[in-house]
């Protein structure tokens, strides 16, 4: 290994669910690096595999789900196949996760304090008194008023935004290196969402952890993320810095997404939606999974999946259109294998 | 349309909807879900209604259609107040609703053609079986559903297609007015745009009037002519869509507009958000005076004493704030 080692290195991750209807390849060959102190956004529609990617890293898949291939290395340590014992030292300690719905991720029968202390007692050498103090400190960190009083309350006494703060406090109690946030603000109102995002950003800068932000909201990505992965049907179609993805999208799906969101400038005009419906993972086409919905699909798109291609050092995309435009402007020499013929 | 062009299609006057909530064994307390809300919608117009969960926007939509009996106030449709049972029955042929959740708003035991045909059955709006079926297929075609799917069940469709079924049902009686309650918030981004465009096209084709309720400001900004903002059961601001988005006057609207996550990294990072402290108070214990004063950075004594009236601050721009002139 050269001296540089990313904090988290995922290579060719494949996760499948074995259902009565057959094998569903929810994640199919996902690779990325996460550097210390960076915010990585994973965007995609429902069923694109963004959450399953996160659950695979944590190894908290439903019983029908299984990682069938690939590697996940945390600080050089392989997690795939490492076993429950190792994972127990990782979960909540080195990697924490917060879920979309703060309503259902807290236990309604335990006090907030007890739930906060659980992770601290499990992963650190603190005694109960110290764990209590640490929990209070964490609540104060996430701007919960009167933390001592709040420690003795139950989840139903908290509002949605407050519950999400508690979830963040719980996730950060052991100072993880990576925080995975799975749609953390989807269930919240915009003004509360702004509070939570602001809080996550400031905590991330303060504590220097890395965040994997899973969301379908491109606005959240634009605000928070350094790098962005766009997923479609279980694989990455485009990956790059936020600026590259937003201002120079090079995959037809990403372009379609950008065109289909309403902004202040689109009032009074027609939106440009992506046609068709999301793909059925049980019936994956042979070529590019997006080809059936793509307006510019070429023959090769239906036949063969485009490999990851480097657009520039900050940007990768898997779209034959880049080959086509490359041939047209002369930067790629036409080869009969690669050349896409227009339909 | 026939008489006065300026006459609004739908008028809501001092609408109140209180729910009685039990707060003890024998005590109940009114929850003022909608408190003294007035607005008017012109024919062919889209009025957007935004606000956070619990602000009463859905209740406005439902009370407007008399799905809840209003506690006070009145609803005037085409110049005629809706009062008697007959009025309501007639009104509901002209005013329908599209619901938020395309999963729970369609009966899983009914076929698509029966779901779309149900309003026709209820109001006996067809001459015979063949005419009924023909109308159903026509509706399916209007919303872009394949007519071969008429005998299928709702669970066989994706979220976007289900929402199309819900829209076809709302169109069945050839309404003039549709209340759209968060019709796209459960859909994926790429599907959302399809459905928004369809609302646009149907409006152009049939001259529909919409009350479009949503919490996504960018969606509402896109589709609406005017936007009304609610907070804790009260309407705090009402103005043209571009006007309210670019020059909000009420402190709550300002923070709401600034909190919208902009899908553009440069704008999003340069954007100065006005982050409000605290949460929306419980409507059971609403603050005295202006409901927003507990979170308002500009709150003064006068705000605790009385609820400010919705006044015209600029032409066509209404705002309910005591201090609107002082905060600039």
Half-sphere CA count of A75, side-chain side, radius 13 A: 8
Rounded to an integer, what distance in angstroms lies between the CA atom of residue A337 and that of residue A315? 23
> Which residue in B295, B320, B300, B323 sits closest to B310, CA to CA?
B320
Provide residues of A within 8 Å CB-CB of chain B: 45-46, 159, 161-162, 189-195, 197-198, 216-223, 242-243, 246-247, 256-258, 260-264, 266-267, 270-275, 277-278
pLDDT the model gives residue B103? 83
- Name the residue of chain B whose CA is nearest to A255's CA: B190
Cβ atoms A105, A174 nearer than 8 A: no
* Sign of the CA dihedral with A232 first, then A234, A235, and A240 last: positive
The reported pTM is 0.87
CB B30, CB B229: distance < 8 Å: no
C-alpha closest to that of B144 among B171, B165, B174? B165
* Separation of alpha carbons A278 and B188, rounded Å: 9
Q: What is the mean pLDDT of chain A?
A: 89
Summarize the confidence of residues B26-44 as an average pLDDT: 91
Distances (CA, A) of A86 to A75, A77, A80, A83, B117: 14, 10, 10, 6, 58
Is A273 in Cβ contact with B256 (below 8 Å)? no
Taking residues B245-260, what's their average pLDDT?
93
Looking at the DSSP bridge assignments, the partners of residue B31 are B19
Please give the Cα distance from B255 to B192 (Å, whole number): 25
Closest CB to A223: pick one of B191, B217, B269: B269
SS3 of A29-73: the string is: EEEEEECCCCEEEEECCCCCCHHHHHHHHHCCCCCCEEEEEEEEE
Of B190, B221, B264, the CB nearest to A267: B221
CB contact under 8 A, A261 and B263: yes
Task: List Cα–Cα distances, A131 to A81, A118, A170, A174, in angstroms.
Answer: 32, 9, 12, 11
pLDDT band at A264 (very low <50, low <70, confident <90, very high): confident
Q: In the prediction, which pLDDT does B159 show?
A: 86
In the structure, what pLDDT confidence band is assigned to residue A343 with cuts at 50, 70 and 90? Answer: very low
- CA–CA dist A134, A146 (Å, integer): 15
CA distance A243 to A40: 13
Q: List the single residue in B191, B194, B273 with the smallest CB-CB distance to A194.
A: B273
Q: Are A150 and A207 in contact (CB under 8 A)?
A: no
Containing H/E element for A322? helix A320-329
Residue A197 · residue A189 · CB < 8 Å: no
Q: Vertex B324, ends B321 and B326: CA angle to 5°?
A: 135
Averaged pLDDT, A86-113: 89
pLDDT of residue B132: 93
**Mean pLDDT, all residues of chain B:** 91
SS3 A311: strand
Q: Which pLDDT value is given to residue A232?
A: 94
The burial of A21, by beta-carbon neighbours within 10 Å (0-12 exposed, 13-18 middle, 19 or more buried), is given as exposed
Average pLDDT over residues B234-254: 95
Query: Per-residue pLDDT tens for A209-235?
Result: 999 999 999 999 999 999 999 999 999
Greatest Cα pair distance, chain B, in angstroms, is 67
- Phi and psi (nearest 5°) for A175? 45, 65
| Residue A299 confidence (pLDDT) above 60 | yes
Q: How many CB pairs under 8 A join A and B?
A: 131
- Which residue bears the tokens 């959302």? B192
Residue A342 is classified by DSSP as P
pLDDT for B126 beyond 70: yes
Q: At what angle do helices B129-142 and B159-171 cross, to 10 degrees?
A: 130
> Given this model, what pLDDT does residue A2 score?
54
CA distance A342 to B40: 53
The predicted-structure confidence for A61-86, as pLDDT tens digits, reads as follows 989 999 999 999 999 999 999 999 99
Contact A46 B190 (CB under 8 A): no
B297 Cβ under 8 Å from any chain A Cβ: no
Cα distances from B292 to residues A244, B300, B314, B322, in angstroms, run 40, 11, 21, 11
Q: Given A162, A192, A260, which is nearest B189 (Cβ)? A: A260
B225 shares contact with chain A (CB less than 8 Å): no
Break chain A down into helix, strand, coil percent, rounded to 5: 35, 25, 40
Give the pLDDT band of residue B241 (cuts 50, 70, 90): very high
Tokens 């909201």 sit at which residue? A217
The answer to whether B238 touches B229, Cβ cutoff 8 Å, is yes
Q: What is the pLDDT of residue B315?
A: 93
A56 CA: distance to closest CA in chain B (Å): 23
DSSP result, A171-226:
HHTT--SEEEEESTTTTS-HHHHHHHHHHHHHHHHHH--EEEEEES-HHHHHHH-S
User: Which range is least confidently modeled, A12-16, A338-342, B290-294?
Assistant: A338-342
């Amino acid at each position: 290994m050269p001296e540089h080692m990313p904090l988290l290195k995922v290579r060719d991750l494949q996760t499948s669910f074995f259902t009565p209807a057959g094998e569903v390849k929810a994640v199919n060959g996902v690779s990325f690096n996460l550097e210390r102190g960076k915010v990585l956004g994973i965007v995609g529609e429902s069923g694109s595999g963004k959450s399953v990617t996160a659950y695979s890293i944590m190894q908290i898949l439903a019983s029908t789900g299984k990682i069938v291939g690939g590697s996940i290395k945390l600080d050089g340590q392989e997690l795939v196949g490492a076993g429950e014992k190792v994972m127990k030292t990782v979960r909540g300690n080195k990697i924490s996760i917060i879920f979309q719905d703060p309503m259902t991720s807290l236990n309604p029968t335990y006090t907030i304090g007890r739930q906060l202390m659980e992770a601290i007692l499990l992963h650190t050498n603190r005694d109960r008194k110290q764990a209590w103090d640490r929990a209070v400190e964490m609540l104060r960190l996430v701007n919960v008023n009167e933390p001592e009083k709040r420690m003795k309350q139950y989840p139903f006494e908290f509002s949605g935004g407050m519950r999400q703060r508690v979830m963040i406090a719980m996730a950060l109690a052991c100072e993880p290196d990576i925080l995975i946030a799975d749609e953390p603000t989807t269930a919240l109102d915009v003004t509360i969402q702004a509070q939570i995002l602001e809080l996550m950003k400031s905590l991330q800068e303060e504590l220097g952890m890395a965040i994997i932000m899973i969301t379908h909201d491109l606005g959240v990505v634009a605000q928070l993320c350094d790098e962005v992965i766009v997923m479609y049907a279980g694989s990455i179609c485009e990956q790059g810095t936020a600026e590259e993805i937003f201002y120079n999208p090079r995959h037809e799906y990403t372009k379609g997404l950008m065109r289909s969101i309403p902004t202040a400038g689109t009032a009074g005009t027609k939106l440009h939606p992506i046609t068709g419906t999301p793909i059925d993972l049980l019936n994956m086409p042979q070529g590019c999974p997006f080809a059936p919905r793509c307006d510019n699909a070429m023959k090769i798109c239906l036949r063969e999946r485009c490999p990851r291609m480097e657009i520039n050092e900050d940007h990768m995309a898997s779209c034959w259109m880049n080959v086509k435009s490359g041939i047209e402007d002369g930067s790629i020499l036409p080869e009969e294998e690669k050349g896409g013929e227009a339909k | 349309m026939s008489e006065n062009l300026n006459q609004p299609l739908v008028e809501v006057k001092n609408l109140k909807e209180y729910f009685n909530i039990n707060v003890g064994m024998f005590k109940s307390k009114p929850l003022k879900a909608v408190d003294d809300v007035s607005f008017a919608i012109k024919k062919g117009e889209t009025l957007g209604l935004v606000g956070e969960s619990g602000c009463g926007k859905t209740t406005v939509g439902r009370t407007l259609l008399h799905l809840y009996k209003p506690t006070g106030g009145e609803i005037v449709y085409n110049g005629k107040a809706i009062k008697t049972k007959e009025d309501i029955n007639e009104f509901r042929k002209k005013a329908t609703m599209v619901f938020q959740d395309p999963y729970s708003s369609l009966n899983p035991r009914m076929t698509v053609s029966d779901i779309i045909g149900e309003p026709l059955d209820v109001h006996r709006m067809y001459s015979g079986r063949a005419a009924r079926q023909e109308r159903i297929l026509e509706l399916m075609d209007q919303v872009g559903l394949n007519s071969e799917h008429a005998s299928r069940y709702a669970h066989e469709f994706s979220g976007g297609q289900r929402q199309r079924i819900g829209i076809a049902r709302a169109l069945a009686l050839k309404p003039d007015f549709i209340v759209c309650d968060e019709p796209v918030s459960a859909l994926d981004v790429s599907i959302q745009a399809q459905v928004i465009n369809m609302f646009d096209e149907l409006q152009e084709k049939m001259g529909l009037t919409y009350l479009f309720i949503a919490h996504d400001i960018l969606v509402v900004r896109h589709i609406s002519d005017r936007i009304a903002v609610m907070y804790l059961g009260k309407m705090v601001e009402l103005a043209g869509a571009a006007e309210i988005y670019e020059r909000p006057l009420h402190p709550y609207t300002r923070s709401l507009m600034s909190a919208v996550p902009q899908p553009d990294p440069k704008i999003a990072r340069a954007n100065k958000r006005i982050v409000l402290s605290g949460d929306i108070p419980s409507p059971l214990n609403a603050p005295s005076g202006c409901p927003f004063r507990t979170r308002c950075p500009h709150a003064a004594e006068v705000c605790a004493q009385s609820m400010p009236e919705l006044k015209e601050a600029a032409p066509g721009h209404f705002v309910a704030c005591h201090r609107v002139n002082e905060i600039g």
